[in-house]
Every structure is written in C-alpha cells, then in structure tokens.
C-alpha cells in the first residue's frame, strides 16, 4: 500500500483489510492528512485481490470526533477558502466500492465521523459508542451526505431528531433505531468486530459485490425494477465460477476456494 503515514494504519489478515484512523490524541478528528490516508487505504483495499472485506475503526478512545477544530477555524476565518480537511475524499466512494465495508464504532462518532460510518455497509458498536450530528450547533447544514444517508438508515423522523437537536445518541438507542446492527461489550469489541468481518470474508466476493449493488440500486428502483435486476444478476452469478466452486465444495465437504477480485475505489462520475 502507498504510505498513508501514521494517521491511518493498514493491515490485511484473513481476507480483511483493517483500516484504522490513527490520530488518537485528537480523537481521530478528520483533517487533510487523515483524509489522504483514508483515500490511499481504501484504494489499496479495493485493488488487493486478497481483500474481501474492509473493517474501519478508530485508535484510542474514539472512532472519529468529526472535523478537526483547526480546519473549522480556518473556514471560519475565510469561508471561501478550499476545505483543507476533505483532501477530495468522497465518503460515497465506500458505497460504490464492490467490497463490503464494516464500521466498528467505539466512543465518539460525530460529524464527519458519523458520515463516514453511515457510508459503510454495516455498523457495529461498542457499549460506549455514541453518535452526534453537531451541525446545527455549529451553524452549519448537515454535511457529508447525512441528510440523505440518515433517513434511509433510521427513517426521516429519527433523522430529523438527530440532525435538528444535535443531541447525543447512545449505543442502545442507535441499535433500537437501526443505526447499528449490533452492540458488543467494550472489553472484547476489537476482537469481536474482526471476527465478524472475517466470517463475512469467507463468502464469495462476486456475491458480496452483487448483493451490495442490489441494496444500493434498490434506492432508485420500484419492486418490479429490482426484481428484474435481480433476475439479471442471478443469471450472471449462476454462470460465475464461484457458484460452481461452492457446489463442488459442498459435495466434497470442504471450504470453497472463491476467486480473488481486484476492484477500484472511486464514486461514479456525474453524467450531468
């Protein structure tokens, strides 16, 4: 992988790319260096045929506390200046990455950190995790696509509550409202998150990519369109070598050896 510096750590194990935000002294607050490191790490995971799943987490006491105050102070002094914190990172690239992304959230998940977590396919939380969208308190709009993401994850009313109140949502409430799919004990959280991602990584990447595409494409489809799309995908997956390998492995009572795949990390280019 290209050098991401110490702001982002990257390691691959058992088909899982472990990408760790690593500014613990700043509660992993987002700045340009961290954004560039994430772009490099996501790109490396996408292109690595040994990677099937991405596990995103934060070092230290938090997942990500949002934008670094230095970046916000710069923009406050000159709102017209380029955002030095974004470094052209597009979180929606995670949604279009063919490989599943699991966000393992502990401690603070705020602002742009919340947008990053919501762009993942699955969110799991430690007992001490909490979620804040502080934009209204800062005199800002909902950034990072959160006004689109949150209603689809927790419903329009719950999204309005979180965005307009700028209040803190604890892990049990996040689980009850569907923002996260699991809440796990703090003591074993890192190990449990990796174990979950490693189980997912045992599946066929072609299937993971197809299912992920179905889930995202369904947002713009009615049922008949989604059914027709799934029929086309079914024909493609039936013809894929991974299906034949899965059936052969079942007959031979062994683990399947699915095909490695290289993909890309980039959001689609607008055709407008």
Percent of the chain scored above 90 by pLDDT? Answer: 61
Percent of the chain scored above 70 by pLDDT? Answer: 89
Question: Which run of H or of E encompasses 124?
Answer: strand 122-126
pLDDT in tens, 44-97: 999 999 999 999 999 999 999 998 877 766 666 566 655 555 656 777 788 889
pLDDT at 175 over 80: yes
Summary mean pLDDT of the chain: 88
pLDDT value of residue 257: 87
Residue 128 backbone dihedrals phi, psi, to 5 degrees: -90, 5
pLDDT at 269 over 50: no
Q: Which of 28-37, 97-106, 179-188 has the lowest mean pLDDT?
A: 28-37
User: How many CA atoms are closer than 13 Å to the CA of 237, on its beta-carbon side?
Assistant: 18
Tell me the mean pLDDT in the region 259-266.
74
Tell me the mean pLDDT in the region 177-187.
98
pLDDT value of residue 266: 66
pLDDT in tens, 105-120: 999 999 999 999 999 9
pLDDT value of residue 260: 81
3-state secondary structure of 272: coil
pLDDT value of residue 185: 98
pLDDT in tens, 206-241: 899 889 988 888 888 888 888 888 888 888 888 888
pTM of the full structure: 0.89
pLDDT value of residue 54: 97
* Cα–Cα distance measured from residue 209 to residue 213, given in angstroms and rounded to the nearest whole number: 6
pLDDT at 2 over 60: no
Tell me the mean pLDDT in the region 152-175.
97
3-state secondary structure of 13: strand
- Give start and end residues of each alpha helix (H) in the chain: 32-47, 69-77, 92-96, 112-119, 146-154, 156-165, 171-176, 189-200, 205-217, 223-239, 241-252
pLDDT value of residue 195: 98
Q: Which of 16-25, 27-36, 162-171, 255-264 has the lowest mean pLDDT?
A: 255-264
* Cα–Cα distance measured from residue 246 to residue 241, given in angstroms and rounded to the nearest whole number: 9
pLDDT at 144 over 90: no
pLDDT at 182 over 70: yes
User: How many CA atoms are closer than 13 Å to the CA of 11, on its beta-carbon side?
Assistant: 9
């Amino acid at each position: 992988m290209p050098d991401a510096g110490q702001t982002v750590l990257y390691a691959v194990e058992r088909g899982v790319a472990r990408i760790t935000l690593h500014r613990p002294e700043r509660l992993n607050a987002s700045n340009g260096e961290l954004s560039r490191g994430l772009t490099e790490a996501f790109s490396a995971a996408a292109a690595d045929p040994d990677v099937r799943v991405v596990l995103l987490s934060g070092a230290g006491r938090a997942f990500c506390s949002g934008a670094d105050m230095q970046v916000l102070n710069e923009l406050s002094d000159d709102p017209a200046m380029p955002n030095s914190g974004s470094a052209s990172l597009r979180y929606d690239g995670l949604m279009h990455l063919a490989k599943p992304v699991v966000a393992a959230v502990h401690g603070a998940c705020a602002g742009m950190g919340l947008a990053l977590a919501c762009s993942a396919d699955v969110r799991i939380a430690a007992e001490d995790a909490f979620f804040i969208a502080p934009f209204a308190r800062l005199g800002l709009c909902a950034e990072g696509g959160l006004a689109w993401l949150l209603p689809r994850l927790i419903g329009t009313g719950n999204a309005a509550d979180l965005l307009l109140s700028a209040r803190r949502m604890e892990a049990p409430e996040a689980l009850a409202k569907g923002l996260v799919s699991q809440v796990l004990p703090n003591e074993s959280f890192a190990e449990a998150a990796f174990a979950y991602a490693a189980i997912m990584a045992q599946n066929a990447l072609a299937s993971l990519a197809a299912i992920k595409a179905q889930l995202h494409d369904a947002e713009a489809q009615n049922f008949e369109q989604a059914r027709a799309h799934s029929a086309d995908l079914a024909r493609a997956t039936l013809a894929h070598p991974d299906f034949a390998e899965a059936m052969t492995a079942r007959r031979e009572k062994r683990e399947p050896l699915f095909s490695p795949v290289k993909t890309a990390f980039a959001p689609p280019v607008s055709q407008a």
